[in-house]
Amino acid sequence: MSTRREITAHISSVKFETITAEKVSTYFGQNTFSEEIMKRRVPASVFAAFKNWQATGTQLSATEADAVANAMKEWALDNGATSYTHWFQPMTGLTAEKHDSFISVNGTLQIIERFSRNNLIMSEPDASSFPSGGLRSTFEARGYTAWDPTSPAFIRETALGKTLTIPSAFVSYHGEALDKKLPLMRSENALAASSKRLLNHFRETPVTDVYSTCGAEQEYFLVDGGYYRLRPDLQLTGRTLIGASSPKGQQLEDQYFGSIKDRVLNYMMDVERECYKLGIPVCTRHNEVAPHQFEFAPIFEKSSLAADHNQLLMDVMQKTALKHNLVCLLHEKPFHGINGSGKHVNWSMGDNEGNNLLNPGKTPEKNEEFLSILTAIIHAVWKHSDLLRASIASAGNEHRLGAHEAPPAIMSIFLGRQLFDIVASLIKGESIDNRTMDMLKTGLENLPHFMQDQTDRNRTSPFAFTGAKFEFRACGSSANISTAVTVLNTIVAEAMDSISDKLDKAKGKSDKKLFKILQEMLIESQHILFEGNNYSKEWQQEAQRRGLPNVPNTAKALEAFITPKAFEVFGKYNVLNKVELESRYNIWVEHYNKVRIIEAHALEEIVQTQVLPSAYEFQVDIGNSLEVLKDMASDNSIPLPIHAVDDRKEMFARLTEDIYQVRKHLHKLQDMLRVISLKDQVEQADYLYNDLAPHIERIRKHVDHLENTLPDSLWKLPKYRELLFNM
Ligand code: ADP
Ligand code: MG
C-alpha cells in the first residue's frame, strides 16, 4: 500500500490522455433514443399515437407499444447494447438499475435478441430491499418500475459494454410512490392544471400546457484517488471526520473562478463529452470558492428531465473521476472549516408557446400575469416555508445550513430592488410608477455600456429572484432535486388556485379587483421577504420576531411533512397521500440516524487503529528522549538550558493528556452508541443531534491537536493541505 508521501510524489508525475475536441452539435444526444430517432424508426401512425399520449394521456395500444419497444431494441442493438435496464430513483437517494440481457431462446432453441412491450413498459425488481418507510408492513412488498416516456431512454457506455437504460418510476403494488420521480411528475400535473386555470384569466388564447423548468448548478470537490484510498472516513461517509485545518485554506479567495488546473480541466472535458452523448446540456464549468471545489451547470430543461439529468450527471461525474484517478466528492461538507457544496436549483415555469412565466418583461408593474404568479410564489413560500426547509433536509446538508457560508435554516425570499419596490407599492395600494432600467457605466467609453440587471445579487438568500427565475440555494450537493421541485410545484399550484378562486368569486376580473387580491395575499405573506444579509446574527433575531421558522435540526425539520397542513396540500393535488408522506418521513429520519451512526463507528475505528497507534509511537520516542536528556542533565559538563528537562516532561505530559482525552471520549462514545440502540427512531435522531454530534466534535478537537503535534512521518492519514492542494 502506498503511503501519503509516495502518493504525493506520484501526483506531480501524473500524465493524462489528451481529449480531442469535436463539434458538440455533431454528436449531442447520440446515445439517446430521442423523439427524432423514434420518429425515423416507427410508422408515422405510431409516432403520432406516442405524441398524442404525451399531450392527452391516451395510452398506446398494444401494437403501438410493441412497435416502440421494437424500434428501441433495434436502435440499441445497432449501437452495440447487449442488455437493458429500467433505471429509477428509489428512496435510497441514489439511482437503481437491474440489468437483463436481450437474449432469449426461440422455438427452435436458438438464442435471439428479444425485447417486448412488456419489457419496456414495466419491470419488477424485488421491492422488499428498498426503503419503504412502513409502506411495506401495510401493503404487499411487490414493486414495479414503470417506463417514463417523457425522459428519453439512453445507452450507458462503460469500457466493457453498453446497456440500454430506460428511465422509470417506481411504484408499490397498490400504486404508492416508492421513488422520487413519481411525486415530481404528479406535481408537474398539479402545477400545469393550476397555472392554466390562472393564466386563462389573462389570456385570449387558452394555454394548453405549463411546466416547470429547472437548471441545477452542481458543486463538488475533487481529490486525488491515492489520498482517498488512505482516508477510510471519506470512503465510508463521504466526509472527513477528522483533519486539522491547513494553514492555507480559502482565506485568500484565490480559487473562485480562478484558472483551472490542467488535470481538472481534462476531467471536466471528459465529463462534458460523456454528458453530451447522453443529451445532458452541461454548459458552465468553473472553480468554486473552496480549494479543489468546482461546479458544473446545465442549460435548463423541463423539471422532470432536469432531475433525471442531474442524477445522471452525478453518476457520470463520479465514474469519470475514477478514470482520472480522482474521486468526486458530492457530500455537502467534506471538509471542516472549508465551504461546503450545494446545488442551486434554478426554477421557473414555461408555457406551450415557450414563454418564461417568470420573465418580468420591460414593465413588470404592468404585467398582471407576472405579478399574479410572483404573488403566488411569495405566498406559497411564506405559507409552506417549513416544507421547503424539509425538502432539503439531510444529514449532509445539516452541516451547511446555518453555518457561515451557506443559507441559514430560515427560508426567506430576496426579490431585488425593482421587484421589491413594486411589491411594496402593491402592498400599500399605491399606483406603481414606471421604472426604467439603469444603464451600467464603467466610466470607460471604450467598453460597452449595458443594462443593469433587474436584480442585484444577494448570495446569502436561500430563495432569490435572479432575473427571470427563482434560485433555491439551500439544496445540498448530493440531493436529488426532485423533492425540492415537487414541494415548490405543489405549493405554488395551491397559491395560484387561491388567486383563481378569488377571481372567480369576484365575478369578472378588473385591474382593481386583481390588485386587491394580490394586495391581501402580499400583506399576509410579506414577512417572508428579506433583502438583507441572511448570514447575520441580526437576521436570526429579526426572523424570530417575524415568526419565521428556523430549524437547523434535520429530523425536526422533516416533521413538516407529517403535519395536517402538509397532508392537506399534498393530498389535494394528488402528489403524495398521508401514507406516502408518513413513509417518506420515516425513511428520511431513519436514514439520518444511520448516517450519523456509521460516522460514529467509522470515527471510532480510525482513531483506535490509525491515530492512537501513531500517538503511542511518538509517546515512546519522547519518553526515550526524556531519559536521554535526564542522563545528560546529570552530567554537568554539558551546558543544557536549565528548563530543558522540564520542557520535555511538559511535552510528554501534554501528549499523554491528548491521548488520555481521546481515549476517555472514545469510551463515552461507545457507551452512547449502546444507549442509542435502545431508542426508537425519533428519539435516536434527537439524541444524535443533541448529544452525539457535539461529542464527536470533542473527539475531533483532540485528534486534530494530535495531528498538529505528531511528526509528519508518523501521521498516516492524508492531511487537509494535501487533499486540498495537491492534484
Ligand atoms: P445566474 O448567473 O443567475 O446564476 P445563469 O444564466 O448562469 O444565471 O443560470 C444559472 C442556471 O439557471 C443555469 O443552469 C440555467 O440554465 C438556469 N436557468 C436559467 N433560466 C432558467 C429558467 N427559466 N428556468 C430554470 N432554470 C433556468
Ligand atoms: Mg453557484
Last residue of some domain: 179, 212, 230? 179
pLDDT of residue 132: 78
* Residue 88 pLDDT exceeds 70: yes
Q: Mark 667-685 as b/e (b = at least 16 C-beta within 10 Å).
A: eebeebeeebeeeeebebb
- Identify the residue whose C-alpha is closest to ligand 1 atom 6: 299
Q: How far is the CA of 360 from the centre of ligand 2 (A)?
A: 23
Phi, psi of 167 (to 5 degrees): -60, 135
Q: Give CA–CA dist 708/243, Å, rounded.
A: 9
Q: Give CA–CA dist 55/154, Å, rounded.
A: 22
Within 10 angstroms of residue 504's Cβ, the number of other Cβ atoms is 13
Output the average pLDDT for the chain: 91
Q: Which residue from 469, 470, 471, 485 has its CB within 8 A of the most atoms of ligand 1, so it is best to mutate? A: 469
Which secondary-structure segment (H or E) carries 287? strand 282-287
Structure-model confidence comparison of residues 647 and 174, the more confident one: 647
Q: Are strands 301-302 and 210-224 parallel, antiparallel or unpaired?
A: antiparallel
The number of domains in the chain is 3
Q: Which of 655, 695, 670, 702 is nearest to 604 (CA)?
A: 670
Q: Which CATH number is 495's domain given? A: 3.30.590.10
Ligand nearest to the CA of 294: 2
Q: Which CATH number is 688's domain given? A: 1.20.120.1560
Q: Give CA–CA dist 341/333, Å, rounded.
A: 6
Quick one: what percent of the chain has pLDDT higher than 90? 76
- Of the pLDDT bands very low, low, confident and very high (cuts 50, 70, 90), residue 405 is low
Nearest-atom index, ligand 1, CA of 344: 11
81 and 200 part of one domain? no
505 within domain boundaries? yes
Cell numbers for 174: 397498490
Which of helix, strand or coil describes residue 716? coil
Cell numbers for 421: 419596490
- Domain of residue 110, residue span: 31-179
147 and 194 part of one domain? no
pTM above 0.85, yes or no: yes
* Residue 437 pLDDT exceeds 50: no
Phi, psi of 535 (to 5 degrees): -85, -10
Digit-coded pLDDT (tens) for 501-554: 999 998 877 888 999 999 999 999 999 999 999 988 899 999 999 999 999 999
Q: How far is the CA of 457 from the centre of ligand 1 (A)?
A: 14
- Identify the residue whose C-alpha is closest to ligand 1 atom 17: 215
Q: Exposed, middle or buried: residue 445 (CB in 10 Å: 0-12, 13-18, 19+)?
A: exposed
pLDDT of residue 446: 57
* Residue 449 pLDDT exceeds 90: no
638 within domain boundaries? yes
533 and 619 part of one domain? no
531 and 605 part of one domain? no
Q: How far is the CA of 86 from the centre of ligand 2 (A)?
A: 32
544 and 600 part of one domain? no
Ligand nearest to the CA of 281: 1
Phi, psi of 204 (to 5 degrees): -75, -50
Structure-model confidence comparison of residues 262 and 272, the more confident one: 272
Q: Are strands 463-465 and 413-414 parallel, antiparallel or unpaired?
A: parallel
Pocket of ligand 1 (CB under 6 A): 213-215, 217, 297-300, 346-348, 356, 466-469
- Identify the residue whose C-alpha is closest to ligand 1 atom 13: 215
* Residue 453 pLDDT exceeds 60: no
Query: For 432-450, what is the mean pLDDT?
Result: 55
Query: For 92-104, what is the mean pLDDT?
Result: 91
Is 218 within 8 Å of 303 (Cβ atoms)?
no
Query: For 264-274, what is the mean pLDDT?
Result: 94
Ligand nearest to the CA of 477: 2
257 and 122 part of one domain? no
Q: How far is the CA of 310 from the centre of ligand 2 (A)?
A: 15
655 and 510 part of one domain? no
Q: How far is the CA of 345 from the centre of ligand 2 (A)?
A: 10
443 within domain boundaries? no
Is 629 within 8 Å of 648 (Cβ atoms)?
yes
pLDDT of residue 673: 96
Q: Give CA–CA dist 244/255, Å, rounded.
A: 20
Q: Which residue from 304, 343, 346, 475 has its CB within 8 A of the most atoms of ligand 1, so it is best to mutate? A: 346
DSSP string, 211-273: EEEEEEEEEEEEEEHHHHHT-HHHHHHSS-SS-PPPSSSSTT--STTPPPPHHHHHHHHHHHH
Nearest-atom index, ligand 1, CA of 216: 14
Residue showing cell 386555470: 197
352 and 496 part of one domain? yes
Nearest-atom index, ligand 1, CA of 467: 3
20 within domain boundaries? no
* Residue 443 pLDDT exceeds 70: no
Q: Are strands 154-158 and 161-172 parallel, antiparallel or unpaired?
A: antiparallel
Digit-coded pLDDT (tens) for 10-42: 887 777 777 777 899 999 999 999 999 999 999
Query: For 438-444, what is the mean pLDDT?
Result: 54
Ligand nearest to the CA of 465: 1
* Residue 331 pLDDT exceeds 70: yes
562 and 608 part of one domain? no
* Residue 451 pLDDT exceeds 70: no
DSSP 434: P
Q: Which CATH number is 46's domain given? A: 3.10.20.70
